[in-house]
Amino acid sequence: VEDCFAVICLERKRRKMIFVFVAAFVFMGDFFLKRCIEKHLRGGENRRICKGRILLRKYHNRGAVLNFLDRRPGVVRNICGGLLLLLGAAWFVLLRRKDNPGVLLGLSLLLGGGGSNLYDRITKGYVVDYFSFRTPWRWLNRIVFNISDFCIFFGSIFVAIASLIKQYQSTN
């Protein structure tokens, strides 16, 4: 019986570690991509990849999404840091329980991406964005992203959908 219990506990710990690795992988992956862009692209330089559908370029974003509050980088840094702290606390609490893995995956993506962008804000005063899409829509072509932005976006969607599913299941 003790051996069976030990195996079950070990398996739970392994499952929980997956979420830690997701957050770490997102953070480190984007960290190294940003470092590579900073080292190999000059400001104003563009490189087309994927048959011209993606444009690599270095952009220093001092504000939040779409340069919101770009003249108040300290405010943006503090808001992002506070939100990340709250998300991290929720993630830690949920990680310790047998709870919704979809929410944990979403929070892991949010923490990895948000942590990477917050690290930039603290160490550089701006977030390094490095690619945009070539589309028929001019407004979308002007937006410059990084991988963390997509992890934050998809992490938010995962949290919302997984929470709705869990709520639906608990009412039925």
Q: Tell me: pLDDT of 9 over 60.
A: no
Q: Tell me: pLDDT of 98 over 80.
A: no
Judge residue 150's burial from the number of C-beta atoms within 10 Å of its C-beta, 0-12 exposed, 13-18 middle, 19 or more buried.
middle
Q: How far is 96 from 150, CA to CA, in rounded Å?
A: 26
DSSP β-bridge partners for residue 56: 47, 131
Short-list 37, 58, 30, CA closest to 46 = 58
SS3 48: strand
Find the mean pLDDT for residues 128-145.
94
Q: Which residue has the higher pLDDT, 12 or 69?
A: 69
Read off the pLDDT band of 169 (50, 70, 90).
confident
Calculated CA dihedral for residues 84, 89, 95, 100, nearest 10 degrees: -70
Q: 83 to each of 29, 80, 115, how far by Cα in Å?
A: 22, 5, 10
Find the mean pLDDT for residues 34-47.
92
Q: Tell me: pLDDT of 16 over 90.
A: no
Share of the chain above pLDDT 90, in %: 72
Read off the pLDDT band of 64 (50, 70, 90).
confident
Q: Which residue has the higher pLDDT, 155 or 167?
A: 155
Q: Which residue has the higher pLDDT, 81 or 167?
A: 81
Q: Tell me: pLDDT of 71 over 80.
A: yes
The pTM assigned to this predicted structure is 0.88
**pLDDT for the residue numbered 166:** 87
